[in-house]
A and B are shown apart, each in its own frame.
Chain A
Amino acid sequence: MGFWIAALTQGFAFVALAWGVYLSARVLRFADITPDGSFTFGAAVAAALLVQDTHPLIATAVAVAAGMLAGYVTGVLHTRLGVSDLLSGILVMTALYSVNLHVMGRSNISLLDTKTLATPVLTLFPATASWPDDVTFGAIFLGVALLLGSLLTWYLRTDFGIALRSVGDNPAMITAQGVDRRRMIELGLALANGLVALSGALIAQYQGFADVAMGVGTLVAGMAAVILGETLRARGRSLLLTILMVAAGALVFRLLVALALRVGLNPIDLKLMTAVFVLGALALPRLRRRAAVTVR
């Protein structure tokens, strides 16, 4: 059971990443590659602050702000300098590699004996001391995800949020309405990468170290979560359902990685198995629908 709890805990931490990628890829319809750098940026900033004995909440908040800055820069490169969306993200992601090394001072920071978000929870709720680490972190990450999900749903329903959604859906209309589209893209990307950086900060605290290479494949994992979520959503179109299903996509993706591990084939087949399981999860609903039509 502990193994699956660990997979779920990781999944809860990756929910913020999935929402970040959802915001840029689906809401803004912006091909943003920044997450491969901003995920590590969040981890690096949080780790660098935590080893300085900064309060974990503050360290995590600063990490989110750092990610927002990275996303904002990507937006500015695109909107003010006319760099294509893809290249803007590539440039910022590439630059962040060096920035992350500067922030950490080396390529890897151990957080084994430093305070993390679990520390204040243990102080506030001493009963949690008997919980396994994975359960404590899982509960924290679930709490963060619930809070963020509520805020995100509320925010995207405000006038400002509706304008943000229109940037991707109907850019001509919002320009005609007098909304500054460029500003909305910058803010949207800042928000998206702030979420991604939060995910990085949470994961670093959970795994006990930050590493400059930990962002490799982040965007792919985030996109997989978004697409899985959209598949799970099926025909429902409500905003709340979409946000919930993207979160579920993040959980399902981590569970599928865990499943690929547990199948226990040749170690070098791990990624192949992961790909097969994700493909299965994506294809099954369609195959089932096709089978139902054929039967009728």
Chain B
Amino acid sequence: MLLLGGACGPLGGGEHPVIGFAQITSSAPLDQARDGFFQALADSGYVRDSTLRVIERNAQGDIATLMLIMNEFKQRGVDYVATVSSVATQAALRVITGQPIVFAAVANPYLIGAGTSATDHKPHVTGANIPLPVDSAFALAREAFPAIETWGSLYDPADPFAEFYLEVVRHMADQLGVEFIAVACTAPGDIAPGIQALKAKGVGGILQLPSVMIGSGFPAVIKTARQIGLALVSANTDYAGVPLALGLSFYSNGYDAGLLMIRVIRGEKPADLPFQAASKRRLVVDLDAARAFGLSIPSAIILRADSVVGAR
């Protein structure tokens, strides 16, 4: 009983703020967002287990458990709720009504009912969304590898924003005058065969659409594309071993959410804090990876890169 009623009793309202932190599963992008979130807090003096109490929960892929997690936060009276991923945010929106919610790693918060615009949103909710710039990454891919007329990507139909990104990329393909082919991939084990299937369909380069599941298996994307001689461009700059990436970092997105959380802790109301769409794009060129892929990156792109990895 001590365990259930005492040690796990109400926590909030004390000297140090208490954050209930939830994510749906462990995957590279989500973990990076989590690390960025806590780093932002630590950089402002909110150190876990010292000046900040964190109840961290991971539903390990079970959506029903997310609901229990949110109810636990509610019952234990945490001061603030932080969520990473769209599904975790949806569960928080459903259960948490009293405490402020700050989200990260959500591509489009409007699709999940968090609000209708960056400033017109549920009054107890704010957060940092991460609309990965797949259109700009596609334009860069075309500039870097003009000989490639057919581009492709694995496509995770279960990802909440797969359709959203696919539509953007198809529209961009029309503008760029190239073909774009998407192959469905529903499990990490489908990644390598999926890349092979893209090659068989005549794809010359991969512009990988964002997906939590495929993000977890991104090393398989890199390895297979490299083995079979496909170019690879990403709109997420957190992956090592990608020759060319133009986009956003989930770590930075989590960091931005952490900064919002600090403002809420210091007394600002979530209603007054607009959703912050990550916009600090970075162009990363990995010359060592490009060599491993047998690719040559144009010097004009290298010159304007924010970060160049490897020897020239």
Residue positions of A touching B, CB distance < 8 A: 1-3, 6-7, 10, 14, 97-98, 101, 106-108, 110, 112-113, 133-134, 203, 206-209, 211-214, 216-217, 221, 254, 257-259, 261-264, 267-268, 270-271
The reply to whether A262 and B65 contact each other, CB–CB distance below 8 Å, is no
Alpha-carbon distance A217/B93, docked complex (angstroms): 24
Determine whether the beta carbon of A10 is less than 8 Å from that of B68: yes
Do residues B71 and A208 form an inter-chain contact, with CB atoms below 8 A?
A: no
- 8 CB-based A-B contacts, threshold 8 Å: A7-B71, A10-B68, A207-B94, A209-B90, A213-B61, A259-B4, A267-B58, A268-B58
Contacts A264-B55, A267-B57 given; does A106 touch B160 at CB 8 Å: yes
Query: How many chain B residues touch the partner (CB < 8 A)?
Result: 41
B183 at the A interface (CB under 8 A): no
> Nearest chain A CB to B126's CB is how many angstroms away?
17
Give B148-174 as 1s and 0s: 1 = Cβ < 8 Å from A's Cβ atoms. 000000000111101100000000000
User: Contacts A101-B157, A213-B158, A262-B72; is A257 near B94 (CB within 8 Å)?
Assistant: no
CB neighbours (8 Å) of B55 from chain A are 264
Q: Quick one: which of B37-72 are within 8 Å of A by CB?
A: 55-69, 71-72
Contact for A112 among B58, B60, B68, B93, CB less than 8 A: B93
Report the minimal beta-carbon distance from A97 to chain B, rounded to whole angstroms: 7
B189 at the interface (CB under 8 A from A): no
* Main DSSP-derived SS at the B contact region: helix
Partner of B67, one of A2, A6, A107, A263: A6
**Nearest chain B CB to A205's CB is how many angstroms away?**
10
* Residues of chain B lying within 8 A (CB to CB) of residue A221: 64
| Residue of chain B at shortest CB distance from A106 | B163
- Tell me the bound Cα distance from A14 to B68 in angstroms: 14
B94: chain A residues within 8 A (beta carbon):
112, 207-209
Having A6-B68, A98-B157, A262-B8, one finds 15 other A-B pairs with CB under 8 Å, namely A1-B75, A3-B75, A7-B71, A107-B157, A107-B163, A108-B111, A207-B94, A208-B90, A208-B91, A212-B158, A216-B61, A221-B64, A257-B65, A258-B68, A258-B72
Whether the pair A107, B159 counts as a contact (CB closer than 8 A) is yes
CB under 8 Å from chain A, chain B span 117-140: none
Given contacts A209-B94, A263-B3, A264-B8, contact A10 B67 (CB under 8 A): yes
Q: Is B309 an interface residue (CB 8 A)?
A: no
In angstroms, how far is the closest chain A Cβ from the Cβ of B187? Answer: 10
The docked-state distance in angstroms from the alpha carbon of A258 to that of B69 is 8
The reply to whether B60 and A270 contact each other, CB–CB distance below 8 Å, is yes
Task: Pick the contact of B64: A1, A3, A10 (CB < 8 A).
Answer: A10
Pairwise interchain contact B3-A261, C-beta atoms closer than 8 A: no
Bound-complex Cα distance A13 to B95 (A) = 17
User: Given A207-B91, A209-B112, A270–B59 Cβ distance below 8 Å?
Assistant: yes
B87 interface contact, C-beta 8 A: yes
> Which residue in B59, B90, B95, B157 is a CB contact (below 8 Å) of A110?
B90
Closest-CB distance, B37 to chain A (whole angstroms): 14
What residues of chain B lie closer than 8 Å to A1, measured between beta carbons?
75
Check if A107 sits within 8 Å of B68, measured CB to CB. Answer: no
**B26 at the A/B interface (Cβ < 8 Å)?**
yes
Q: Is B142 an interface residue (CB 8 A)?
A: no
Q: Nearest A residue to B73 by beta-carbon distance?
A: A3
B236 within 8 A of A: no
Report the separation of the CA atoms of residues A214 and B63 in the bound assembly, to the nearest whole angstrom.
Answer: 6
Q: Which residue of B lies closest to A108 (CB)?
A: B160
Task: Name A94's closest neighbour in chain B (CB-CB).
Answer: B186
Chain A nearest CB from B88 CB (Å) reads: 11
**Given A212-B158, A268-B60, A2–B26 Cβ distance below 8 Å?**
no
Q: Quick check: is B193 within 8 A (CB to CB) of the other chain?
A: no
Instruction: Give the CA-CA distance A3 to B76 in the complex, in Å.
Output: 9
Q: Which 9 pairs between the two chains have the least Cβ-Cβ distance?
A: A208-B94, A6-B71, A267-B58, A3-B75, A112-B113, A110-B113, A108-B160, A2-B75, A214-B63
Q: How far, in whole Å, are A263 and B58 apart by their CA atoms in the complex?
A: 13
- Do A110 and B111 touch across chains, with their CB atoms under 8 A apart? yes
